[in-house]
Chain A
């Protein structure tokens, strides 16, 4: 009777599902909880457990085995394990921590375990990627040869980053570190680069804002966000960068270029310190455990550029470090500085004096990126570095004496203009060719007559003018990747033409 009442298709599919279920009894390795507190579980038993193995704590909660001792195992809880008490049994799963990745993960916000946290549909996993994986060795690698355009003039011109490089962004709180990273994500819109933004210990409100910005600007279509906010457990914050890196590697395996941002590794180190202290591991300098260097080096070593036999993809890492009172010689900053291939140094003083992005060009370096810099950019940036260096040298002197010879005055004036042209809104990235024509005008002295406060206006009107009247110059630079002679002549006359028609911005010099 009842069978007739329910639709046969439903009973059929239900029967199919139930038939597939395997309920045979297997031996399972179990352990008994001895103590549980502060997110750390001590377990007796659990024979043959592996380090880094997932432990089933029951009620759909999992833990991570981190400390293996003679007769107990230290497990950190991922998520909430309020149901645990002394005597509860926990089980081995035999699974080493991994994260499910798929192409559809782009545009999504996931937590450190790969679960969607943006309230949209479930992500259908295509492949499980190991979170802890050995970095590619020497043979599959290739040196950096393609630039990672950040769209920020100061960086692309003087601290160029190549795809596959690790460039640290370091600075005090609120100096625009995240802004530099987000600006870079926005600039990847037409560059065929996939972005992964890993948020570690940030305020949920700032993360929500970041997601909003990326969504409004259409950048979420090629971006995945791994979120471990300040309210996540220390274990989740500790795992988030590895999770993000695994997602990046999923795309790397497909030969894609990936940009990954770790925002920020200071909080990551602090989360790891918390776990280590609770696990009673011996502590060292600043109470960090002994392997805190390895914690970051094994993560950042996974950034790479692979050769063509291995797919030719790349992972560019932009870790962020927050310093206290400009102290770059603290433990974690020095560690990460030595691991990365250069750093972008942001300063609060510059930021407060209105220099945005607040990049200290003198202290920032890129150790490998110049190999990937485009010829056109090299042509204009060489003079710029010199101009700025001379400017900085003389700037100190200029404050003492008011009488300066004409040559010094000219250098100071040029330096000030070049400095001013580097100012840029973080959400207004410029294409390579746009940067080249702007910097060209500044270093060749076409801007010396422009008042400093009008520089931004000059720049935006100039770029619009070039697109409408001389698009062939921009096309030529974009195509040739350098300024060829004929283009240079054309560019010079174009700048002159623009300056002559804008007397409000460029006052006519009276002879």
Chain B
């Protein structure tokens, strides 16, 4: 394991609990093969629910807002 740090911006609709932060941290450590993870918490109620992680310039959007946008664009494509 490399001794590197990575910063994750975690945006959620509600304040993240300690357990959730821990889970994110472990998952990111595993995926990016790093020793420590710094998590910056941002709360944005406009997301409705779910969580969005931004790591460097890669984004994982698992928010309700993002899902609704996906549904919208895919429905429009099918029409």
Interface-forming stretch among A24-32, A169-177, A324-332, A455-463? A24-32
Q: Nearest Cβ in chain A — how far from B12, in angstroms?
A: 14
Restricting to B21-35, which residues have a CB under 8 Å from any CB of A?
none
Whether, in the assembled complex, B58 has its beta carbon less than 8 Å from a beta carbon of chain A, the answer is yes
Identify which of B54, B59, B61, B74 contacts A21 (C-beta below 8 A): B74
- Chain B CB within 10 Å — which of A23, A31, A45 has the most? A23
Considering only residues 11-55 of chain B, those with a C-beta below 8 Å from chain A are: 54
CA distance A68 to B42 in the complex (A): 30
Residue of B57, B70, B74 with most chain A CB atoms under a 10 A cut-off: B57
**B56, B58, B67: most-surrounded residue (chain A CB, <10 A):** B58
Residues of A1-55 at the interface with B, using a CB-CB cut-off of 8 Å, are: 17-18, 20-23, 25-32, 44-47
Determine whether A233 belongs to the interface, using a CB cutoff of 8 Å to chain B: no
If over half of B's interface residues share one DSSP class (helix, strand or loop), that class is named, otherwise mixed; here it is: mixed
User: Do B60 and A47 have beta carbons less than 8 Å apart?
Assistant: no
Contact indicator A28/B61 (Cβ below 8 Å): yes
In the assembled complex, A499 has its CB within 8 A of some CB on chain B: no
Query: Which residues of chain B have C-beta atoms less than 8 A from A91's C-beta?
Result: 59
Q: How far is the CB of A394 from chain B (nearest CB, A)?
A: 70
A27 and B60 within 8 A (CB): yes
Number of interface residues, chain B, beta carbon within 8 A: 14
A47-B57 in contact (CB<8A)? yes
The answer to whether B60 touches A21 (Cβ under 8 A) is no
Q: How far is the CB of B75 from chain A (nearest CB, A)?
A: 6
Given contacts A23-B70, A23-B71, A25-B62, contact A17 B57 (CB under 8 A): no
Closest to A20 in B: B78
- A17-B59 Cα distance, complex, nearest whole Å: 27
Q: Are A25 and B61 in contact (CB under 8 A)?
A: yes
Least distance between B72 CB and chain A CB atoms (Å)? 10
B78 to A27, Cβ gap below 8 A? no
Residues of A within 8 A of B67 (CB): 23
Residues of B within 8 A of A47 (CB): 56-58
B75 touches A17 (CB 8 A): yes
Q: For the complex, give the distance between the alpha carbons of A29 and B67 in Å.
A: 17
- B residues with CB within 8 A of A: 54, 56-62, 67, 70-71, 74-75, 78
Q: Kindly list the 9 A-B residue pairs having the minimum CB-CB distance in the complex, ordered from nearest.
A: A45-B57, A30-B59, A25-B62, A23-B67, A28-B59, A21-B74, A27-B58, A47-B57, A21-B71
Q: Given contacts A20-B78, A23-B71, A30-B58, could you give 9 more A-B pairs where the C-beta distance is less than 8 Å?
A: A21-B75, A23-B67, A25-B61, A27-B58, A27-B59, A28-B61, A29-B59, A47-B57, A89-B59
Chain A residues in contact with chain B, CB under 8 A? 17-18, 20-23, 25-32, 44-47, 89, 91
A-B contact pairs, 11 of them (CB 8 A): A21-B71, A23-B70, A25-B60, A25-B61, A28-B60, A29-B59, A30-B57, A31-B57, A44-B57, A45-B56, A45-B57
